[in-house]
Amino acid sequence: MDLYGSGERLEVIAEEDTEPETETETEPEPEPESAQEKLHSADQGADRYGMWDKSSIDLDLPTREPYVLVAEKTGEPPGPGGGEMMAAVGGGKGLPGNKETGSPPLSKFQRFSVETNESLSFEPYIPSDEEGDEVFEEEEEEPGTGVRGGSAGDTAAREAVEGLARGDDDDDVDGFCTECKTPVLSSLGLHNNHRVVQIPTAAEEVKNDLCDTMRKLEEQIAQMENFAGHLEEIFITVEENFGRQEQNLEQHYNDVIQTLTQRYDERASGLQDDKKVRLEALYAQLVHCGKTLDASKELIEAAQEVHREEDKLAFLEAVIPTMDRIEDFTKEELDLKLSPSIEFENCAVDLSDVKQMMESINIVPAPSAPVINPQVGNSAGSTTVRVCWSLFSDDTVEYYELHYRPVLENSTLEGTQPPKESNVKVKETYRTVTDLLPNAQYEFWVTATNTTGISPASEKAVYMTVPSSPIIKPRECTSCPTAALIRWESGNSNPVDSYTVELNEASDDTTTVTESIVAVPTCECLVQLQPGRHYCISVRAVNIGGPSERSSPVTIHTTGTCFHLLEDTAHPCLSISEDGFTMLYEDDDRPISDMIFSDNTFARCVGVLGELIPVRGTHYWEVEVGESTEFRIGVAYRDTQRNGILGGNNTSWCMRHTVTPSRHKYEFLHNGWSPDIRITTHPCRIGVCLDYDMGKLSFFNATLPQHLHTFDCHFLHYVHPCFSLDHPGALTVHNGIEAPDCVRFV
Amino acid sequence: MKSFQDQIVLKTAGSMALTQVSSNKCCGGFQKVFEHDSSELKCRMKFGIYLPPKAESASECPVLYWLSGLTCTEQNFITKSGCQQSASEHGLIIVTPDTSPRGCNIEGEEESWDFGTGAGFYVNATEEPWKANYRMYAYITEELPRLINAHFPADPEKMSNPGKYKAVSAFAPICNPIQCAWGQKAFGGYLGADKTAWEAYDATVLAASYSGPQLDILIDQGRDDQFLSAGQLLPDNLIAACTEKRIPVVFRLQQGYDHSYFFIFSFINDHIKHHAKYLNA
């Protein structure tokens, strides 16, 4: 037991030992404070892992395959083999030098074996704390003997083997072959062609594998549980169904028997009655015959009596009435016919109804009318609807027939043909009907049919197809850093209930909608946005059937303000380029009378208005002008006088550039007045900054940037960019530009 | 403002000693006047400095140098212009030097209001008896900025003089002194008869040959300024030179204003914003 003698060594072991302990999350070991405590704690750890003994054996081991030993051991009860190991334990104890180096890998190996649940797990052999303590005590009692008490024999033997196994590793194992699933000594080279990794890595890998396997198992369990639940349900249903069938059968048979009994009774009493009637008739006839017979006999006797009369005269006198009576009597014909028929009427027994009843025991009744469901959300497309219905649970149905026809809004009008009815056979209790018109109502009803017959029709249900997608009009959408005004066409000829505007920040994933604005009643919507982002905005039309498909999106960049020119305000001489941002005033020889002016077009100055988004805040845009272009650029109220000149009235503010023979002249005009300002460098790109909040309209030479002038004016209404050209030339508007910093210093 | 005082004590351990003459809280900051011995001018000089609230939180602020005109001292601007409001808002330090050396006992320095004391013209005099003391150009472009940067939380990157200053603006400037009576008198006195030496201090001449970094110049001029009509200021010459050289100038002829501080007060905010735009960029 010299290993207890050296505190240093124990410290080493203790440190090494605590590491795996914490990692394997066994009980946390308190920090050892003295050498003795360290020693004790080391022992505890060691005992838990069965370390001391094992570590001392390894030298004598003939093999480097610790698993062989363990496998043997698990296979056989501890017997002589164990004893041998015991001896080996004793022998090994005298060689502490090896233990020092051996201990740390041992502990690692132990950790590995416990955690991975490999087939060669040592788990069963890890002595419990109690056992460990016992062993430990014994060791202390009998230091250096190498002989264990019999009571601890088994444990000790196991530990010995185990220790042997691990002890072997202690020295050698420094890697783990992932193919042989074996800890190896990499220097041996036996696994040269295999992937050998560090033991902790290996442990981690195998642990991960195990976790995966466990996860799979868990999934399987979940699946099985689901399936079992399903089976239970089916079980109950089947049971119920059979119960119902049994009931049905019994009832049917009872009906048949009852009917038969009734028939029997009816026929039996019929027979009785018949018998009675006939017998009575026969009896009456018999009685009548008897009477006739008596009368005949009486006449004969009377005749005989007359015949015997000796006295001829008396005879003659008497014979005449007698003769008359006989004559009378014989005149009556004898009724010798049987008055009642004695033949039995072989009346055929009509059992057809019974037969039918018997048959009907095996056939199902015709179904009752199915119940059609009202339309549910998301069941319709623009040309399709999914119709659902249900039947009474005991009905058997071979197929359904779904009937539908469009509901005409103006069907009450005279002379309209009732719309054509369509129908379709369906096996299921639902059907997706296609080729319908968008945003239209259809009425549906359904019948069920089986071998017995057809059910009555269900109630009629009205389903509605969703509208067609709206069409966004990108040229009429305007935006600024904090909002966008989106405009669209309905895309449907008849009105829809509302629109839903969906926006998401543009990214790879365009399907996730970050915000929806619902119940938009008109074909435009002002959407609040965050500055400096990119948004994809699309629109759906909605009716009671649900929302349409998304329109193709419009992309909005909230870097700057974007507007478009209102071409309907443009003076006839001013043409707007294809992209809508360049305005061109060309020499036009047309007489004024040839030009078409509307109420909305600028008539006096060759100008045009832009449409700015109706959002207060700050807007910035730039205008590219030529060196000698004579222009007026600024803002104006939407209703600024069309026959006025920009800057010449109190509804417009503008910067004017003119070229005089001596110099470029710049004016900042409002209400016809301008301050006297000289500018030494001609601005070829003019920045215009409109700040509603501060009530300022500023002009800049955007290329420098140089502040040129600021109007202080509190705008009562929204203003719009305005442009005009005093002489032929061109102006180009640049939108979507972030306002430069200089606009803050005006 | 204890922190400033501490700093000052610390820094005045060197050669450049500052003495605080006055300190008044103003627009959240402090308007102070200091006195010091100028090595360039060889006399005791005063200057005003406005320290905005931002300077108190020890962050560096850009410095605006205000050069007053004829007859002024450091006091005129700080008491009349109302510059502090806007300077406080934009976090600018405003330094207002005096307009000339004082008390140098040079013969004739007190004789006229447009030459000598109160009329330094910001040139380095080369003629006797002025050349020893009248080195206002060196004073305001070198000595004073050095002093300010050493003693105050000034951002040395943000200051100027064409090529040295980031932004320029002026109220009713003498745009072409070579061509006007004031300039001819002063330049003749300080610089001698050789007019080529004058050109180094003439804005119009300088503009015509300017090749430094891009400038942005703001000039306000009262239309009813008596010196404008007297042909002392000659802004058109400067505008023409700048137009020629494509130096960006916005020149605003303000109707009804004269040459007084009432005029300056009316437009000082525009000028401070003009500087703030560049200095705070």
Prediction ipTM score: 0.86
Query: Which residues in chain B have their CB less than 8 angstroms from residue A704's CB?
Result: 214, 216, 248
The answer to whether B213 faces chain A, any CB pair under 8 Å, is no
Alpha-carbon gap: A700 to the closest alpha carbon of chain B (Å) = 11
Q: What is the pLDDT of residues A99-130, one digit of tens each?
A: 444 444 444 444 443 444 444 434 444 444 44
For residues B22 and B31, what is the distance between their CA atoms, to the nearest angstrom?
8
The answer to whether B195 faces chain A, any CB pair under 8 Å, is no
Of A677, A744, A745, the CB nearest to B250: A677
The answer to whether A203 faces chain B, any CB pair under 8 Å, is no
With CA atoms as reference, the chain A residue closest to B278 would be: A742
The answer to whether A677 faces chain B, any CB pair under 8 Å, is yes
Are the Cβ atoms of B251 and A707 closer than 8 angstroms?
no
Are the Cβ atoms of A680 and B246 closer than 8 angstroms?
yes
Alpha-carbon gap: B201 to the closest alpha carbon of chain A (Å) = 21
The answer to whether A679 faces chain B, any CB pair under 8 Å, is yes
Are the Cβ atoms of A678 and B250 closer than 8 angstroms?
yes
Are the Cβ atoms of B250 and A675 closer than 8 angstroms?
no
Alpha helices in A581-708 (DSSP H): none
Are the Cβ atoms of A677 and B246 closer than 8 angstroms?
no
Query: Which residues in chain B have their CB less than 8 angstroms from residue A742's CB?
Result: 277
Of A675, A680, A744, the CB nearest to B249: A680
Query: Which residues in chain B have their CB less than 8 angstroms from residue A679's CB?
Result: 248-251
Closest CA to B249 of B204, B200, B183, B199: B204
Of A675, A681, A746, the CB nearest to B248: A681
Alpha-carbon gap: A681 to the closest alpha carbon of chain B (Å) = 5
For residues A470 and A489, what is the distance between their CA atoms, to the nearest angstrom?
6
Tell me the pLDDT of chain B (281 aa) as tens digits. Answer: 334 444 444 444 345 689 999 999 999 999 999 999 999 999 999 999 999 999 887 678 889 999 998 889 999 999 999 999 999 999 999 999 999 999 888 888 888 888 988 888 899 999 888 988 999 999 998 899 989 988 998 887 654 454 567 678 999 999 999 999 999 999 999 999 888 899 999 999 999 988 878 888 999 999 999 999 999 999 999 999 999 988 999 999 999 999 999 999 999 999 999 998 888 76
- Sheet harboring A175-177: ordered strands across? A182-184, A175-177, A196-197
Are the Cβ atoms of B251 and A681 closer than 8 angstroms?
no
The answer to whether A663 faces chain B, any CB pair under 8 Å, is yes
Of A680, A709, A742, the CB nearest to B239: A680
For residues A631 and A616, what is the distance between their CA atoms, to the nearest angstrom?
26
Alpha helices in A683-733 (DSSP H): none
Are the Cβ atoms of B250 and A745 closer than 8 angstroms?
no
DSSP A673: B
Residue partners of A166: CB distance under 8 A and separation at least 6: A50, A51, A54, A55, A66, A106, A109, A110, A122
Alpha-carbon gap: B234 to the closest alpha carbon of chain A (Å) = 14
Alpha-carbon gap: B42 to the closest alpha carbon of chain A (Å) = 40
Task: Provide the CB-side half-sphere exposure for B109 (13 A, CA).
Answer: 19
For residues B15 and B35, what is the distance between their CA atoms, to the nearest angstrom?
14
pTM equals: 0.62
Residue partners of A288: CB distance under 8 A and separation at least 6: A335
User: How many other C-beta atoms can be found within 10 angstroms of the C-beta atom of residue A107?
Assistant: 26
Using CB atoms within 10 Å of the CB of residue B203, give its burial: 0 to 12 exposed, 13 to 18 middle, 19+ buried: buried
Are the Cβ atoms of A676 and B248 closer than 8 angstroms?
no
The answer to whether B273 faces chain A, any CB pair under 8 Å, is yes
- Residues paired with B64 in a beta bridge: B94
Alpha-carbon gap: B275 to the closest alpha carbon of chain A (Å) = 9
Residue at token pair 């070579």: B178
Query: Which residues in chain A have their CB less than 8 angstroms from residue B234's CB?
Result: none
Is residue A653 a contact partner of residue A647, using CB atoms and an 8 Å limit?
yes
Is residue A439 a contact partner of residue A491, using CB atoms and an 8 Å limit?
no
Residue A186, phi then psi, degrees to nearest 5: -65, -30
Q: What is the model's pLDDT at position A81?
A: 41
Query: Which residues in chain B have their CB less than 8 angstroms from residue A709's CB?
Result: 250
With CA atoms as reference, the chain B residue closest to A668 would be: B252
For residues A672 and A646, what is the distance between their CA atoms, to the nearest angstrom?
9
Query: Which residues in chain B have their CB less than 8 angstroms from residue A678's CB?
Result: 239, 249-253
Q: What is the model's pLDDT at position A302?
A: 83
Are the Cβ atoms of B239 and A704 closer than 8 angstroms?
no
Alpha-carbon gap: A673 to the closest alpha carbon of chain B (Å) = 12
Query: Which residues in chain A have their CB less than 8 angstroms from residue B273's CB?
Result: 745-746
Strand, helix or coil for residue A442: strand
∠ Cα B184 B186 B192 (to 5°): 80
Strand, helix or coil for residue A461: strand
The dihedral built from the CA positions of residue B233, B234, B238 and B243, taken in this order, carries a sign that is: positive
Residue at token pair 């605590």: A18
Are the Cβ atoms of A681 and B249 closer than 8 angstroms?
yes
Phi-psi region of B265 (alpha: psi -120 to 50; beta: other; left: phi over 0): alpha
Is residue A146 a contact partner of residue A89, using CB atoms and an 8 Å limit?
yes
Rg (C-alpha) for chain A, rounded Å, is 57
Are the Cβ atoms of A742 and B277 closer than 8 angstroms?
yes
For residues A14 and A20, what is the distance between their CA atoms, to the nearest angstrom?
10
Closest CA to B122 of B109, B107, B134, B105: B134
Are the Cβ atoms of B255 and A681 closer than 8 angstroms?
no
Residue A556, phi then psi, degrees to nearest 5: -120, 125
Of A663, A701, A745, the CB nearest to B277: A745
Is residue A167 a contact partner of residue A55, using CB atoms and an 8 Å limit?
yes
Question: Structure tokens of B4?
Answer: 């400033």
Question: Structure tokens of B52?
Answer: 């905005």
From chain B residues 100-139, the ones with a CB under 8 A of any chain A CB are: none
Q: Which residues of chain A have pLDDT under 50?
A: 1-153, 156-157, 159-170
Query: Which residues in chain A have their CB less than 8 angstroms from residue B92's CB?
Result: none
- Residues paired with A515 in a beta bridge: A503
Q: What is the model's pLDDT at position A197?
A: 78
Of B239, B248, B252, the CB nearest to A701: B248
